[in-house]
């Protein structure tokens, strides 16, 4: 195993051809401003730079202790599906998390920390891993295996990938800043749309409703008056729904409400699930759920984690509904294998969710979903 403390040739000693290849790789990872595209480009460029058959970029979670995303190259969609859930960071991958410095191995399986491969995983031998550090913190790690032009990765390969990782950190930070700028623009658009809905659309609906009520008084037939009253009731319901939409536009994107927390959690879960959850909101969930935000976030995170680890699902939906009576209903439903027949050994997730709901005066139920799979439902009473 090599570390950054060893004396290695500098990238300048790699030769003009490899330096041009490094420059091409650096330019490649700097061409995108969307974070997911940047991460994919980093893995592809690193694998091409050192002739690796397989490459991956593991993104650490907020705590820095596990992998929340795992972007790969060299594996087909069928191979990835056959392997199953993405790794969380054990064995050699875990060693890179605990000790973020370059690791280079001629035979991966001979290392004392080798964790082995899951079923259906292609065999891999030579290994090169380096951390990617953004603003002094480890963002993730680059993993490269099976050098195709030699039996093992060289010290020059290591130096080249370390240099690419430095450029990748800048590209990641640029993509993050671009994302924040885009969010600010979207937030301004949301506020403008909310103002237009309130000042124009709602006022017009009120005017139409008042006009219809006046017309109803002039109608001589009961059936016509009933139809007009039904139309007025529909308009009132539309106004209520638009007010809810305005509230969502004014609060979503500020990072504080229940909506934003749930959306953030579902985005984080994409890496472990392998697909994006469907998320829906109904009613003033931020207003009603303000006092339960931490409980809602914890239950949604645990439920999605269970889906990723155990369900074998290809689809999951997350729904938050604020009732007119002030109750908040949180539902996470998947199309997987269904509830376990018995509690899993060492599993405390369901008990933790039930405890949280009980302390908040609510309940949690777990059972079959309406169309199969598993459904977790938490009901919380109105907050103080």
pLDDT of residue 246: 61
Structure-token pair, residue 307: 């889906």
The whole-chain average pLDDT of the chain stands at 79
Give the pair of three-digit tokens for residue 223: 């059936």
Domain ranges of the chain: 11-178, 255-384
- Residue 8 has phi, psi (to 5 degrees) of -125, 160
Q: What is the pTM of this model?
A: 0.49
Say which CATH class 255-384 falls into: alpha beta
Encode pLDDT of 315-369 as tens digits.
999 999 888 788 899 999 999 888 876 665 545 667 888 888 888 889 999 989 8
Order of strands, sheet of 67-73, starting from the edge strand that comes earlier in the sequence? 67-73, 52-60, 137-147, 127-134, 103-105
Report whether 161 contacts 46 (CB < 8 A): yes
Q: Minimum mean pLDDT among 181-190, 233-242, 258-267, 308-317: which range? A: 181-190
The confidence band for 36, taking pLDDT boundaries of 50, 70 and 90, is confident
Q: Which fold has domain 11-178?
A: Beta-Lactamase (3.30.450)
User: What's the distance, CA 80 to chain centroid?
Assistant: 18
- Alpha helices by DSSP H, the chain: 16-29, 35-49, 77-83, 91-98, 155-196, 202-218, 222-251, 258-273, 285-288, 293-306, 349-359
Smallest CA-to-CA distance from 167 within 45, 263, 282 is with 45
User: 317 — phi, psi (to 5°)?
Assistant: -120, 145
- Under a CB-based contact definition with an 8 Å cutoff, are residues 127 and 153 in contact? yes
pLDDT given at position 237: 74
Helices (H), 106-221: 155-196, 202-218
- Average pLDDT on 151-167 reads 91
Selection from 143, 181, 182, 124 nearest residue 60 by Cα: 143
Q: What percent of the chain lies above the pLDDT cut of 90?
A: 18
Q: How confident is the model at residue 171 (pLDDT cuts 50, 70, 90)?
A: confident
Looking at 194-203, 273-282, 363-372, which range is the least confident one? 194-203
| Res 306 pLDDT > 80 | yes
pLDDT of residue 24: 78
For 150, the token pair is: 């030699």
Are 235 and 208 in contact, with CB atoms under 8 Å apart?
yes
Q: In the structure, what pLDDT confidence band is assigned to residue 5 with cuts at 50, 70 and 90?
A: very low
Rounded CA-CA distance 161/143 in Å is 10
């Amino acid at each position: 195993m090599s570390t950054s403390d060893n004396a290695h040739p500098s990238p300048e000693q790699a030769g003009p051809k490899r330096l041009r290849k490094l420059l091409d790789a650096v330019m490649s990872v700097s061409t995108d401003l969307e974070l997911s595209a940047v991460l994919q480009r980093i893995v592809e460029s690193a694998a091409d730079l050192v002739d690796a058959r397989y490459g991956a970029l593991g993104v650490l979670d907020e705590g820095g202790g596990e992998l929340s995303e795992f972007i790969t190259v060299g594996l087909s969609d069928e191979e990835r599906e056959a392997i199953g859930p993405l790794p969380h960071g054990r064995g050699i991958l875990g060693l890179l998390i605990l000790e973020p410095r370059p690791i280079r191995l001629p035979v991966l399986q001979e290392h004392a920390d080798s964790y082995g491969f899951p079923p259906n995983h292609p065999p891999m031998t030579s290994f090169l891993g380096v951390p990617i550090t953004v603003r002094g913190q480890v963002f993730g790690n680059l993993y490269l295996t099976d050098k195709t032009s030699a039996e093992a990765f060289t010290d020059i390969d290591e130096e080249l990938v370390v240099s690419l990782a430095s450029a990748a950190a800048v590209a990641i930070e640029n993509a993050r800043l671009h994302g924040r700028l885009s969010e600010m623009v979207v937030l301004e658009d949301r506020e403008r749309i909310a103002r237009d809905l309130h000042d124009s659309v709602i006022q017009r609906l009120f005017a139409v409703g008042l006009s219809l009520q006046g017309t109803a008084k002039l109608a001589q037939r009961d059936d016509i008056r009933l139809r007009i009253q039904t139309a007025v009731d529909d308009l009132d319901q539309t106004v209520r729904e638009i007010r809810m939409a305005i509230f969502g536009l004014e609060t979503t994107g500020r990072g504080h409400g229940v909506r934003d927390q749930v959306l953030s959690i579902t985005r984080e879960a994409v890496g472990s699930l392998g697909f994006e959850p469907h998320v829906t909101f109904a009613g003033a969930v931020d207003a009603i759920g303000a006092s339960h935000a931490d409980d809602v976030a914890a239950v949604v995170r645990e439920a999605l984690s269970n889906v990723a680890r155990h369900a074998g699902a290809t689809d999951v939906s997350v729904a938050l509904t604020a009732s007119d009576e002030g109750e908040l209903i949180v539902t996470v439903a998947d199309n997987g294998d269904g509830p376990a027949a018995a509690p899993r050994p060492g599993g405390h997730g369901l008990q933790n969710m039930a405890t949280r709901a009980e302390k908040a005066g609510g309940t949690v139920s777990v059972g079959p979903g309406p169309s199969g799979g598993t459904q977790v439902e938490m009901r919380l009473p109105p907050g103080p």
